C-alpha cells in the first residue's frame, strides 16, 4: 500500500506536474483570445521546435523539472545543447507536440476533476451541480458525498502517469543521438585510460624514490659509517627531489588538460635512474647502443618508466646485487633488458602490480614485455616497435 502512496510524497511528482501545466497556461491564453482557432498553438509549437536554441531551453526545463538531480548530478539521458542537425530539430518539434498532448490531459485532470469533487459536495448538501463539470445532471442527493473523493483518486494516478509518460518522451526525443552517445563513451574511455596512466606514473616514480630511500637508510644504519651515511643522505635527497619533479609533472597533467606529454621524462634521462640505483648501493652495469634521441617520444617515455620499474624491482628484492641493463635501438625496435640475480624474494613470473604495468605499457605501444626467471636470474625484457608510432 505504501508503494502506491509513495508518488504523493515524492518531490519529482510535483515538479513534473508543474512542467505539465506550463504549456496549458499558454494554450489557455490563446483560447481566451480565439476559441475558433485551437489548432494555432499546435502549429506554432512545431515551428518553434525547429529553432536550434529551443532544444537547449527544453532540455534545461526537462532536467530541472522532470529528472531533478537527487545527488547533484544532472540526468545525462537528456541533453542540454542547441540543435545541430535537422534530425534534432524535428525531434524537438515532435517533443513539443507530445508535451502539448500530455499538458492537455494533465490540465483537464487538474481543473475538471477537483471541480467535479466540489460539485458532488454541493449536490450532497442539497444544491444543484453547476452543470460545467462531470457531475452534470446528477441532481442534489445526499449520497453524492460518497462519490466526492472519486475524482481526486482518479486525478493523482492521471498526473503521475502523465509525468512518467512525458519523462520517457523527454529521454527519447531530447536525449543524445547515437553519435553523441558514442562521443560520450569515447570521452569516458579516454578519461579512464588517462587515470590508469597517471596511476602507473605515480606508482613507478614514487615507488622508485621510496625504494631507493629505504635501501639507502637501511644500508646507512647497518654501516655505522659517518661518511657512508653522508653519501646515503645525499642520494636520498637527490632521489626525493627527482620524485617531487615527477609528481609535479603528474599533478600538472591533472590541473591542465592541455599539458604536453613531452614534459614527462624520457630514456635520454636514463642516466638519472642509473645513478640513483648506484647511489642506493646497486652495482649497475649499463650498456646503451643506438641513437636514443631518435626514438619517438611516446616510446622513449614509456621505455623510461619500464626501466624505472625494473630497477625499482631489482633494488627492492635484491638490495646491493649486481644489475645488468641493456638498451639498444636497432632495426626499427627499442630493446630494453634488465637482469639481476634471483634471491628467491622477487616474486613469481607475472605477479605484482609493477610487472603488470610494464606489460601494459608495452602492449599499448604494440610491443611486448616478458618478466620472469631465466637461467637463474630475474629478467625484464621489453621490445617496442618504432615504426608504428607517429
Q: What is the mean pLDDT of the chain?
A: 79
The helix (H) or strand (E) run that includes residue 105 is helix 86-124
Q: Is 163:16 a contact under the CB 8 Å cutoff?
A: yes
- Arithmetic mean of pLDDT, 238-262: 63
Cα torsion at 74, 75, 80, 86 (round to 10°)? 170
pLDDT digits (tens, 9 = 90+) for 84-100: 888 889 999 999 999 99
Reported in sequence order, the residue ranges of the chain that DSSP labels E, i.e. its strands, are 283-289, 322-330, 333-341, 368-374, 377-385
Angstrom distance (rounded) from CA 203 to CA 275: 20
Helix, strand, or coil here: 285? Answer: strand
Angstrom distance (rounded) from CA 54 to CA 16: 19
Q: Is 225:187 a contact under the CB 8 Å cutoff?
A: no
pLDDT digits (tens, 9 = 90+) for 24-49: 877 777 777 777 777 788 888 889 88
Q: Give the per-residue pLDDT at 334.
A: 92
Q: Which one has a higher pLDDT value, 63 or 233?
A: 63
- Arithmetic mean of pLDDT, 253-271: 66
- Arithmetic mean of pLDDT, 331-342: 89
Q: Give the per-residue pLDDT at 231.
A: 73
Neighbours of 82 (CB within 10 A): 16
pLDDT digits (tens, 9 = 90+) for 75-134: 667 888 888 888 889 999 999 999 999 998 998 899 888 988 888 888 888 787 776 777
Indicate left, alpha or beta for 68 from its phi (over 0: left) and psi (-120 to 50: alpha). beta
Q: Give the per-residue pLDDT at 166.
A: 93
Angstrom distance (rounded) from CA 217 to CA 280: 9
- Does the pLDDT value for residue 262 go beyond 60? no
According to DSSP, residue 336 is labeled: E
| Alpha helices (runs of H) in 174-265, residue ranges in sequence order | 178-223, 226-255
Q: Is 367:336 a contact under the CB 8 Å cutoff?
A: no
Tell how strand 333-341 and strand 368-374 pair up.
Answer: unpaired
Q: Give the per-residue pLDDT at 318.
A: 65
What is the dihedral sign for C-alpha 23, 26, 31, 37? negative
Strand partners, 373: 378
Return the closest-CA partner of residue 45 out of 81, 86, 89. 89
State the pTM of this model: 0.49
Residues in the chain: 390
- Does the pLDDT value for residue 259 go beyond 50? no
Q: Give the per-residue pLDDT at 347.
A: 46
Residues in Cβ contact with 103 at an 8 Å cutoff, skipping those fewer than 6 apart: 20, 21, 22, 23, 24, 27
Q: Is residue 162 very low, low, confident or very high in pLDDT (cuts 50, 70, 90)?
A: very high
Amino acid at each position: 500500500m505504501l508503494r502506491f502512496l509513495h508518488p504523493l510524497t515524492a518531490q519529482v511528482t510535483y515538479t513534473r506536474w508543474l512542467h505539465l501545466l506550463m504549456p496549458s497556461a499558454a494554450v489557455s491564453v490563446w483560447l481566451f483570445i480565439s476559441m475558433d482557432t485551437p489548432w494555432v498553438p499546435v502549429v506554432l509549437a512545431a515551428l518553434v521546435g525547429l529553432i536550434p536554441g529551443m532544444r537547449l531551453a527544453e532540455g534545461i526545463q526537462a532536467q530541472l523539472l522532470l529528472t531533478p538531480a537527487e545527488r547533484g548530478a544532472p540526468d545525462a539521458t537528456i541533453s542540454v545543447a542547441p540543435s545541430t542537425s535537422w534530425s534534432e530539430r524535428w525531434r524537438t518539434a515532435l517533443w513539443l507536440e507530445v508535451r502539448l498532448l500530455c499538458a492537455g490531459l494533465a490540465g483537464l485532470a487538474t481543473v475538471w476533476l477537483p471541480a467535479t469533487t466540489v460539485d458532488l459536495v454541493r449536490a450532497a448538501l442539497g444544491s444543484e451541480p453547476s452543470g460545467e463539470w462531470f457531475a452534470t445532471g446528477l441532481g442534489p442527493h445526499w449520497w453524492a458525498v460518497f462519490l466526492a473523493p472519486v475524482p481526486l483518486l482518479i486525478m493523482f494516478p492521471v498526473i503521475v502517469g502523465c509525468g512518467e509518460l512525458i519523462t520517457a518522451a523527454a529521454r527519447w526525443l531530447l536525449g543524445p543521438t547515437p553519435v553523441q552517445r558514442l562521443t560520450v563513451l569515447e570521452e569516458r574511455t579516454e578519461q579512464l585510460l588517462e587515470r590508469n596512466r597517471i596511476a602507473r606514473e605515480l606508482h613507478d616514480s614514487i615507488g622508485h624514490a621510496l625504494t631507493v630511500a629505504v635501501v639507502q637508510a637501511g644500508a646507512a644504519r647497518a654501516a655505522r659509517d659517518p661518511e657512508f651515511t653522508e653519501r646515503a643522505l645525499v642520494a636520498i635527497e637527490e632521489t626525493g627531489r627527482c620524485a617531487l619533479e615527477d609528481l609535479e609533472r603528474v599533478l600538472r597533467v591533472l590541473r591542465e588538460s592541455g599539458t604536453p606529454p613531452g614534459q614527462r621524462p624520457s630514456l635520454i634521462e636514463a642516466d638519472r635512474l642509473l645513478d640513483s640505483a648506484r647511489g642506493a648501493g646497486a652495482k649497475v652495469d649499463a650498456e646503451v647502443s643506438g641513437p636514443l634521441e631518435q626514438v619517438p617520444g611516446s616510446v622513449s617515455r614509456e621505455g623510461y618508466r619500464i626501466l624505472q620499474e625494473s630497477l625499482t624491482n631489482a633494488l627492492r628484492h635484491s638490495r646491493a646485487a649486481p644489475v645488468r641493463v641493456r638498451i639498444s635501438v636497432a632495426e626499427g625496435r627499442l630493446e630494453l633488458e634488465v637482469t639481476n640475480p634471483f634471491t628467491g624474494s622477487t616474486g613469481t613470473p607475472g605477479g605484482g602490480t609493477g610487472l603488470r604495468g610494464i606489460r601494459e605499457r608495452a602492449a599499448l605501444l604494440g610491443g611486448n614485455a616478458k618478466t620472469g626467471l631465466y637461467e637463474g636470474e630475474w629478467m625484464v625484457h621489453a621490445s617496442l616497435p618504432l615504426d608504428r608510432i607517429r
